[in-house]
Each structure stands twice: as structure tokens, then as C-alpha cells.
Amino acid sequence: MSREIHVRFCGGVRGRFPRATRLRQGKLVAAEAYELIHAERANFPIKLMCRVLEVSRSGYYASLTRVPSNRAKDNELLNQQITEIFDQSRGTYGSPRVTEELEAQGFTVDRKRVARQMAKLGLSADLKPKFRNADSEPTNPAAPNVLERRFDIDEPDRVWVSDITYVWTIAGWVYLAVVIDLFSRRVVGWSSADHMRADLVLDALSAALGSREPSQQGLLFHSDQGSQYKATRVRETLDDAGITCSMSRRGNCWDNAVAEAFFASLKREHVYRKIFLTHEDAMTSIAEWIEVFYNGQRRHSTIGYCSPVEYERNFYAANAVSQAA
């Protein structure tokens, strides 16, 4: 039983008997109501459940001795096959692919019927993330594009670029924000969450500021025009740190090509090769990829096939020799 129905039944025990339309978005047919009552008979009084679901007790007891129809038997077998196919697809098949697989197994079934049964079973293969900001907050106008695609930087911590992406897990979508130093292509800060609010960006920025010192020549922070980056709190944080804000032109991903390329590498080389059960599994694995492999080992063509850490180490060593001379 869903938590919502469970709570409403409990409310009914206290004397508040909600109408059945408040228990569900659509009208339960009698057979479905009887099935629910039978499943929950050990948890709630049958009289109460019949009243809440607006069915008669006599009808419920009669259903216990009723012989299932051929259609009901067919649906039970079909549901078992649909569930098995959906699980084997790792939750990625919608009704068209499930129907094709059923037909390959010798079943003759209409796609619309498969879609109805999948809906009743709560099986959905909608892999598109829902970009929702649960808490709206004040935003500022977009900042000008100060960077203007000048991606070759000759000093650490002069220009940071940032962006947000999403990663699918069995438990739902998890969102990742990164801050990258253009000089070495090193990820200097990142954060993850189950939302895309401004806090996601602020946490990544805080991580970067906690581990790096902006150049004495000044620091530029470049991003797209996402609402998270235009949030007043983000702009105030940048202002307080003496960081100049820069934003891509609307709808132009090439203005933030380095961040886009990083996410492409992350997904191609790591994310798409794995199945993550939970948010924690995903971020533990991604954190290891970023900190150990990408920053510390992965050779980057733009910086002479060095890793970001090695490239920075070489820079500071050369500076030390120059200053000593």
C-alpha cells in the first residue's frame, strides 16, 4: 500500500473517513479495490477499508470465492512477463520495446494493452530528468560574455568555468556541478544533489574557494545563463570574493565548450559504462573518477598530454627555477 493511502486509512481510524476520490487520482474499479482490501486486511479493519474505498463488504466477500475470468488469468500471466522484461531492460524499456520483446517470445498482444498494464504496475521508462527548482529565488540579469571563448590561459586560477549535468541512477536523477580551472583543466570544485537549486552551484563554488586562491590579477567565473548561476545569492558570493562574473550567450553551448567537453568525457568514459543503484553509489564513483583519474592521471591533449595535477606541478616548478635564477 502506498504511503498516501496508508496515512489516509490511519486518518480514517481516527474518525475522518475521506472519500475515495481523495485516495487516488482515478476511480478504482471494484476488482482493484477488493484486491487492495485483501492485501491490507491484516493492517486495517475490512469494514473501514470498504467504507473508504466505497465498496460493499458483501461484494468484497463475494470476490473471495469468485472464479477468475480468462481475461484476468491472461492479465496475470501478461503482467508477470511484462515485469520480467522491464527488469531485464534495467528499467529502460517502454511499452513499444516491451511489446516487441513479448512478440519475440511468442505472445500476441496489442501495444495499447501493454501500456495499460505497465501503467497499472507502475512501470515507467521515462529517462528524461525533470528540471525543477523546488525553491524559486531572486535572480539577476545575465552577465556579459567577458570570456569570449578565450580558453587558453597562462596562469592558474585566472579563469574558472562551471556547468551542471545530470546522472541517472536506479533511485532517480542526481545532479552534478563542477568548477574547472581553464589553465590546467583541473576540476577545482564540485558538488552533487538531488535538485538543481542555486545551492548546488554555491556548494561547488565554496569547494573551489576552499582549496584554491584566486590569482592576484583577478579571477573570472564563467557559466551559462542557467537560473542557478543568475541567482542573487550566487552573484553576491562572487562579488564578495572579488570574482568577475561572465556568462555565455543565450543558447550557445560553444561559449562554455570546456565544461561541456568535460561532461562529455565523464559520461563517455565512466558514467555510461556503469549502472548506479543510488545517488551515493553514483557520486562515490564519480568522485573517485574526478579526483584520482581525471585530475591525477588522465592525459589531456590541450595541456601537452599531461594530467592537470602534473601540468600545475610543472608550472610551479618552472616558476620556482625562474625566481631562483
| pLDDT tens digits along 138-189 | 889 999 999 999 999 999 999 999 999 999 998 889 999 999 999 999 999 9
Mean pLDDT in residue range 229-237: 95
Residue 24 is predicted with a pLDDT of 39
The pLDDT tens digits of the residues spanning 113-127 come to 898 888 888 787 765
140 in a structural domain:
no
Question: Which of 205, 166, 174 minimizes the C-alpha distance to 189?
Answer: 205
Domain at 178, CATH number:
3.30.420.10
Instruction: Tell me, yes or no, whether 195 and 312 share the same domain.
Output: yes
On whether the CB atoms of residues 188 and 311 are closer than 8 A, the answer is: no
How close are the terminal C-alpha atoms of the chain, in Å?
A: 76
Residue 252 is assigned to a structural domain of this protein: yes
Asked whether residue 130 is assigned to any structural domain, the reply reads no
Q: Are residues 85 and 22 in the same domain?
A: no
Q: How confident is the model at residue 105 (pLDDT cuts 50, 70, 90)?
A: confident
pLDDT score recorded for residue 6? 45
Are 32 and 107 part of one and the same domain?
Answer: no
Between 146 and 25, residue with greater pLDDT:
146
Which DSSP category does 300 fall into?
B
**Pair (280, 163) in one structural domain:** yes
The residue segments making up the domain with residue 109 are 77-121
Give the count of domains, the chain: 3
Looking at the structure, tell me whether residues 319 and 170 fall in a common domain: yes
Flag the least confident range among 71-80, 223-232, 252-261, 311-320: 71-80
One domain, residues 191 and 301: yes
The H or E element that residue 63 is part of is helix 57-65
Average model confidence (pLDDT) for the chain?
85
Decide if 141 is inside a domain: no
| Widest pairwise Cα distance in the chain | 98
Query: ∠ CA(26), CA(11), CA(64), 5° rounding?
Result: 60
Lookup result for grid cell 542573487: 232
Residue 110 pLDDT more than 60?
Answer: yes
Of the candidate ranges 87-91, 221-225, 237-241, the one whose mean pLDDT is the lowest: 87-91
Residue 1 CB partners (closer than 8 Å, separation 6+)? 9, 36, 39, 40, 43
Percent of the chain at pLDDT > 90 equals 50
Q: Is residue 288 part of a domain?
A: yes
Give pTM, 2 decimals: 0.63
As a whole number of angstroms, the distance between CA 116 and CA 91 comes to 17
Same domain, 277 and 169: yes
Residue whose cell numbers read 460493499: 56
- Cell 591533449 -> residue: 301
Distance (Å, whole) CA 94 – CA 128: 13
Between CA 160 and CA 174 the distance in angstroms is 23
Cβ pair 220, 146 in contact under 8 A: yes
Looking at the fold, whether 39 and 87 belong to one and the same domain comes out as no
| Coil, helix or strand at residue 150 | coil
Q: Do 299 and 242 share a structural domain?
A: yes
Domain-embedded: residue 192: yes
Span 222-249, mean pLDDT? 95
Question: Is residue 152, in this structure, part of any structural domain at all?
Answer: no
Cell matching residue 196:
538543481
Element (H, E) at 220: strand 219-223
Same-domain check for residues 20 and 59: yes
Residues 203 and 305 in one domain: yes
Q: Do residue 88 and residue 209 come from a single domain? A: no
Cα Rg of the chain, angstroms: 28
pLDDT of 320 strictly over 50: yes
